[in-house]
Chain A
Amino acid sequence: MAERLPTEQLLGLYEDMLRVRFFEEKIDQELFPAGLIRGLTHLYIGQEATGVGVIRALEPQDYVLSTHRGHGHCLTRGSDPARIYAEILGRRDGLCRGKGGSMHLCDMSTNFVGANPVVGADIPIAAGLALACKYLESGAIAAVFFGDGAMNTGAFHESANLAALWKLPVFLICENNRYAISVSVERASAVTDLANRACAYGIWHETVDGMNVSAVYDAARRAVEVCRSHQQPVLLVANTYRFVGHYTKDTLRYRPPEEARDMFREHDPIHRAERDLADNCGLPMEALIGIRERVKREIDDAAAAALKSPPPPAEWALEDVYAADA
C-alpha cells in the first residue's frame, strides 16, 4: 500500500480537482442551460481524481492526449481556463481559434496534443509520439487517456501490440467509467477486468481506484517510472464514474438513478480528499473553504473573460487547412 502523500501535495491535487469540478459545473449549470454552447459537451464531473492524479505524475515535456471528455485533462495540464471556455463557447480567443470546440481542445504550449472524440483514435497517435520520443531520445513519454469503450476498438489492440513489440514509452490510461455512452462494460466486454487486456501483449499494468486521487497519483508515478526508465508501454486502468450524463443532453435511461446518487455519496473524489485533508492531515475546515472560494472565483473570472471574447470572423474558417511550406 502506498504511503500517505505529504499534505502539501494532497492539497495541490485537491485544488486541481476542485478547479475541474467548478469548471464543469459552470458549464452544466450555467453556460449550457443558457444556450451559450453549441453541439455536444461531455463533462468530467466524478472522474477528476483520475485526470488529476495522472497528469500531476507527468513531466512538462511529456505529451498528453485525451478524449471527447477532455476539459479536465486540458485544464489540469495547465491551460488558461478562460481560453478553454472561449474555445467551448466558440469564441475568438479560444485555444483553437474556435475551430475545435469542446471535443477538440489542443494546447501545444503545455504539450496537450489534444482531445480526440473518435473513440480509440488517440491511441495510435500516442504510440507514434512515443516512437518519436524514443527515436529522438527526448526523454519524454506520451500519456493517452481513453475510456472503457475504446478498449474494444481495433486501434487499441493494434497500438498495444505495436507499442509492446517496439518498446515504446506510451502510458495508456483507461478511464473505466463503466459506460460507453449507454452500454455498460458488462454488456460490451467479454472480460470485464480490463487490465487483463494488457496480459495479451505482455504490457505492465495496474488497476487503481480512480475515485481516490492519492492512489491514482501513486500508481501513475509507478507507471511513469516504468514507462520512462524502461522505455516500454504501461497500462493503468482507473475505475471511476461519471456523476453526470455522457453528454449534456443525456437522458440516463440506461442506469438506475440511485447508482449515481450512491456513488456520489460514497465515492466523490473531492469529498474523499477533503476528509483526508481534515482527518488525516489536520487541516481546519476554514482552510478548505478558503481554497474552494478562491478556486471558484478563479473559474467565475475565467468564464466572465471568455464571455467577453467576440465570435471569430467567419473568414477564419478557411485558414489553417494547410500548413505553408517551410
Chain B
Amino acid sequence: MPPTPDDRRGYAGAASRGDPDRPEDRAPTGEAPASPAAPAMREVAYALAVRTALREEMLRDQRVIVMGEDIGLYGGVYGATRGLQREFGEQRVRDTPISEAAIAGMCIGAAISGMRPVAEIMYCDFLSIALDAIANNAAKLRYMSGGQLSIPMVIRTAAGGHGYAAQHSQSLEAWVTHIPGLKVVTPGTCADARGLLKSAIRDPNPVVVIEHKALYQTTGPMPAAETLEPIGVAKVTREGADVTLVSWSAMAGICLEAAQELAAQGIEAEVIDLRSLLPADFDTVLGSVRKTGRLVVAHEAVSYGGFGAEVVAQLAERAWGSLKAAPTRVGARFAPVPFAEPMEEYVLPGKKEVIEAAQRCVGTG
C-alpha cells in the first residue's frame, strides 16, 4: 500500500518523484547543518537514504562490510546498495549466493571477531530461512556466554504489501520483537532510514532493520549533514488533544494523512511514529494517551498477535485510568496477503481504516 505524499511532515512519499537512482556521489557526508535549530534538509529517495547510511558508515569504519543477494554488481533489488561495490570493492560489498542461513550465520561469526557486518535479506518473508541464526544464535550468544561475546551485526530487510502476494508481502516485526537479545527498528522516513541504520551499525548488539518496500522509490527530506537517530526513541510527528495514533514504518505516514482528514472533521489526533519496536518508547505513548485518553495503534502486520497488541497491553497495564475509550487496533485482516489488487487492499489496512478507528474511539464513528 504505497503512501501518498506528505512532504511537510518529513515522510517519504513526497510529490517530487525525482530520480531515486541519482548518483550516490551526491550523498552528503559530514557537512555541518546551517543551524542546529533548523538543520538543512535535502530531498532524497528512501533507497538513497539507506545507501547514504551504508556509505557513511563504510567510510567511517573499515570493519563495516555489506553482504546479501544481488547487492553488489546489481546494487540491490531496491537500489539501496547501488554503487557501493564500485566504491568499496568486492571484499567489503559481497554478492552472496541464495543462502540466507549462511548469510546470517556468517554475520554472527564476523561480528564476534570484531567486524560490523550488515546483511540484506531481500524480503522479510525470507527471515524464516535465516531465523535460526538470528533468533537462536545472534540474539542469544552474548547471553549464553555470560557476556563474553558481542554480536554487532545488522540485518536489513523489507516488509510490506506491494502487489507481490503472500510470500513477499508480510510485515513480520512481531517475529523478531519477541526475542530478547535483538533490537528492531522500522524506519518510515528518509531521515530515519539513514539515521536509524547508522545507529544500528554502531550498536554493539544485533539489530534487525525493517524497511518498507513501498517507500524505497519515494522521496522525502533528509538532513544534509550526517545525523544519527537514536534507537528506542519515538517521535511525536503531530500534536493533538483528542486521540493518539501510534504507528511505525510506512503506516506512520498514513496515520499523518489520516490525522489531516480527521482535523477537517474537528478531531485533533496526536501522531506518534514509534520508529523502534525493540526497545520501544512506551513512555512517549503513555504520555500522549494520558493527555488524549484515546489510543489507536495501526500497523500493516496482521492484527492478531501483532506488535500493536503489546502497545495496547502496555497502555492497559500502566495508564488504564487515563483511558476514556477502549484502545483500538488497526491491522491486516486475518489472511495471507492476496495478489489481486482489490483483495490486497481489502486485507491490508490504510488511511480509511485508521480514520474509522479514530472516529469510533472519539465516539463520532
Contacts and interface: CB of A to CB of B under 8 A. Distances in A.
Interface of A: 63, 94-100, 104, 106-108, 113-114, 116, 118, 121, 123-133, 135-136, 138, 142, 154-155, 158-159, 161-162, 165-166, 319-326
A135 B109 contact: no
Contacts of B152: 323
A323 B143 contact: no
B205 interface: yes
19 contacts: A96-B144, A96-B145, A104-B145, A124-B133, A125-B106, A125-B133, A127-B102, A129-B113, A135-B91, A135-B110, A158-B97, A161-B97, A161-B102, A162-B97, A162-B106, A320-B143, A321-B143, A322-B183, A322-B205
B276 interface: no
A98 B99 CA distance: 34
B107 A128 contact: yes
Contacts of B265: none
A103 to B, nearest CB: 9
Contacts of B141: 106, 114
Nearest to A101: B144
Interface in B107-164: 107-115, 117, 132-133, 136-137, 141-150, 152
A125 B142 contact: no
A131 B117 CA distance: 11
A235 to B, nearest CB: 16
A44 to B, nearest CB: 20
Contacts of B183: 322
A155 B99 CA distance: 8
A150 to B, nearest CB: 13
A111 to B, nearest CB: 10
Interface residues of B, number: 42
Given A127-B106, A128-B105, A128-B106, A320 B142 contact: yes
The 8 closest A-B pairs by CB, nearest first: A128-B109, A124-B105, A128-B106, A97-B146, A158-B102, A96-B146, A158-B99, A106-B145
Interface of B: 65, 91, 94, 96-97, 99, 101-102, 104-115, 117, 132-133, 136-137, 141-150, 152, 180-181, 183, 203-205
A36 B146 CA distance: 21
Nearest to A126: B109
A108 B105 contact: no
Q: Which of A63, A128, A131, A319 has its CB near the most chain B CB atoms (within 10 A)?
A: A128
A127 B109 contact: yes
B248 to A, nearest CB: 21
Contacts of A133: 113
Nearest to B117: A128
Contact of B144 (A99, A125, A126, A128): A99
